Amino acid sequence: MHEWAIAEGIVSTVVSFSLKEGAKKVAKVVISVGELSQLNLEILRDAIKELSEGTIMEGAEIVFQVEEAMFKCSSCGFSWSFSSVKKNLLRMFCGEDVEECDNPVHYVPDLVNVFLRCPKCGSPDFEISSGRGVNIVSVEVVK
Amino acid sequence: MERALDPREVAIDKRFKGIKYSVLVLSGKGGVGKSVISSIISLLLAKEKFKVGLLDLDLHGPVIPRIFSLENMEPEESKHGLVPPEACGVRIMSLAFFTEDKPLPLRGSSKTEAIKEVLAITNWGNLDFLIVDMPPGTGDEVLTAVKYVKGKKGALVVSTPSALTVSVTLRTLNLLKDLKVPIIALVNNMAYLRIGEEVVKVFGNANLVSLTREFNIGEYVELPIEPRINSLIESGKVAELTYTEIALKLGNLIEKLKTRALA
């Protein structure tokens, strides 16, 4: 799992942004997490908290907004959700009946086109219409 | 906040703080020998005890793991990102570690995202040189790689003497000029084949020297067709690539890279 590496990016980005804004402290950070990244939010939250220690982000409220991952086929126009096909992906890498496991899409979400196909026409040519990765949606600071 | 912040942007900046110099190995066309040249340059630098990374960004034809016989390896997870596998002193990262031999059917924006992701998650540690085997062409993925390979960098452009390739090479050179990327060298690969005492120009004799003058490129290298290269790769003797005629011809270029990295 690479939650720690993601957390490093989040903390560095928030601290850098807040300092530029002239903040003394970060009060709240809202983070959008795409479902496709398959991040473990507990680990991510703990990593952010630990890495924030000693920075102006220490003690900030962390809010995650999980964005549903959706795909749209460029060949037939069909739309479907990642949750409806997630088991197929996990089965390829970890066998049957697992809820989560390490797989390439966790590290590079765009690799989903390598492993999944449009459920309707079988095409690998589809786009990720939502829920791809991680973004910092808002930062509330105290000046 | 006017727009959402992408944490990968800062993460990429931090990764490149540990890298002294990056060499973008580009070509307008595929199949001109970019990956082999990237590999040999990496090996030559590693042989001189420099810390070297080799990043395979050829999304549709990644062959670097194959050249280094690392097809069955995977990057290792660490607290600070994915640690690239190492062979012959070269740390190597490629999407082929994740996709194996499967095709990667990506459109433009997805290519950009995939490249950003790889640059953000790879924990190179400190490097003297990062050699980047770039995607061919002048499309999205090249623009993304040029933008996000941060810090000191220069380009090495690979062509062949075929008139068709040279016309595409001209476009690559113009793009680099517009993007203000210094061009370290122009490499004319597959320029000749030695058959006994005879030198045969198999793929033509286009004038690449005039391009070096036009674009003020300090180094021009002509490399032979060397059948031994293929047999060394196929037999897994990658370290021996440093004893080939091509490696010998790249000697001056290696000295130039050292000067640039240490400047």
The residues pairing with B159 across neighbouring beta strands, listed in sequence order, are B188
Tell me if B102 and A115 make a contact (CB, 8 A cut-off).
Answer: yes
Q: Is the pLDDT reported for residue B61 higher than 80?
A: yes
Per-residue model confidence as pLDDT tens digits over B6-29: 999 999 999 999 999 999 999 988
Nearest to B77 by CA among B19, B122, B13: B122
Tens-place pLDDT, residues B197-239: 999 998 888 889 999 999 999 899 999 999 999 999 999 999 9
Q: Least CA distance to B99: which residue of chain A?
A: A114
User: Does the complex come out with an ipTM higher than 0.90?
Assistant: yes
Select from B1, B11, B95 the Cβ nearest to the Cβ of A108. Answer: B95
Q: How confident is the model over B155-192, as pLDDT tens digits?
A: 999 999 998 888 899 999 999 999 999 999 999 999 99
**Nearest CA-CA distance, residue A97 and chain B, Å:** 22
CB atoms near residue B48 (< 10 Å): 11
Which residues share a beta bridge with A140?
A28
Query: Residue B251 forms beta bridges with which residues?
Result: none
For residue A118, pLDDT over 70 is answered with: yes
pLDDT at residue B1 in the model? 78
Q: Kindly write down the DSSP assignment for every residue of chain A, as one continuous string.
A: --HHHHHHHHHHHHHHHHHHTT-SEEEEEEEEEEGGG---HHHHHHHHHHHHTTSTTTT-EEEEEEEPPEEEETTT--EEESTTTHHHHHHHHH-SS-S----HHHH-GGGHHHH---TTT--S-EEEEE--SEEEEEEEEE-
The conformational region for residue B27 under phi > 0 = left, psi -120 to 50 = alpha, else beta, is: beta
Per the CB < 8 A criterion, the answer to whether B87 and B68 are in contact is yes
Residue recorded with tokens 């590496």: A5
Do B117 and A32 count as a contact with CB atoms less than 8 A apart?
no
User: Strand B90-94 to strand B52-56: parallel, antiparallel, or no bridges (unpaired)?
Assistant: parallel
Question: Would you tell me how many other CB atoms lie within 10 Å of the CB of residue B62?
Answer: 21
Q: Do B121 and A2 touch (CB under 8 A)?
A: yes
Rounded to an integer, what distance in angstroms lies between the CA atom of residue B11 and that of residue B168? 34
pLDDT recorded at residue A1 = 54
Tokens of B222: 């002509």
Tokens 């992408």: give the residue: B6
Closest of B199, B208, B201, B200 to residue B165, by C-alpha: B208
Q: Would you say residue A98 has pLDDT above 80?
A: no
What does pLDDT average to over chain B?
Answer: 93
> Which pLDDT value is given to residue B55?
98
Q: Is the pLDDT of residue A51 over 80?
A: yes
Q: What share of chain B in percent tops pLDDT 70?
A: 100
Q: Which residue of B has its CA nearest to A11?
A: B7
User: Which residue's entry shows tokens 């004799």?
Assistant: B205
Three state DSSP letters for chain B = CCCCECHHHHHHHHHHHCEEEEEEEECCCCCCCHHHHHHHHHHHHHHCCCCEEEEECCCCCCCHHHHCCCCCCCCEEECCEEECCEECCEEEEECHHHHCCCCCCCCHHHHHHHHHHHHHHECCCCEEEEEEECCCCCCHHHHHHHHHCCCCEEEEEEECCCHHHHHHHHHHHHHHHHCCCCEEEEEEEEEEEEECCEEECCCCCCCCHHHHHHCCCCEEEEEECCHHHHHHHHCCCHHHHHHCHHHHHCHHHHHHHHHHHHC
Of B1, B105, B121, the CB nearest to A124: B105
B74 in reach of chain A (CB within 8 A): no
- Spell out the SS3 assignment of A30-66: EEEEEHHHCCCHHHHHHHHHHHHCCCCCCCCEEEEEE
**Lowest-confidence segment of A36-45, A81-90, A116-125, B198-207 by average pLDDT:** B198-207
Report the range of poorest mean pLDDT among A73-82, B76-85, B199-208.
B199-208
pLDDT value of residue B261:
82
pLDDT at A100 > cutoff 90: no
Q: How confident is the model at residue B79 (pLDDT cuts 50, 70, 90)?
A: confident
The larger pLDDT score, comparing residue A27 to residue B74, is at: A27
B262 conformational bin, left if phi > 0, alpha if psi -120 to 50, beta if neither: alpha
Residue A96 in this model has a pLDDT that exceeds 80: no
Interface with B, mutate which of A37, A72, A107 (most B CBs under 10 A): A107
Highest mean pLDDT among B71-80, B136-145, B202-211, B220-229: B220-229
Q: What is the mean pLDDT of residues B34-62?
A: 95
What is the distance between the alpha carbons of residues A55 and A103, in angstroms, rounded to a whole number?
A: 33
Q: B99 vs A17: CB contact, 8 Å cut-off?
A: no
Assess whether pLDDT exceeds 80 at residue A27. yes
Q: CA–CA distance from B152 to each of B16, B120, B180, B187 (Å)?
A: 9, 18, 12, 21
d(CA B142, CA B95): 16
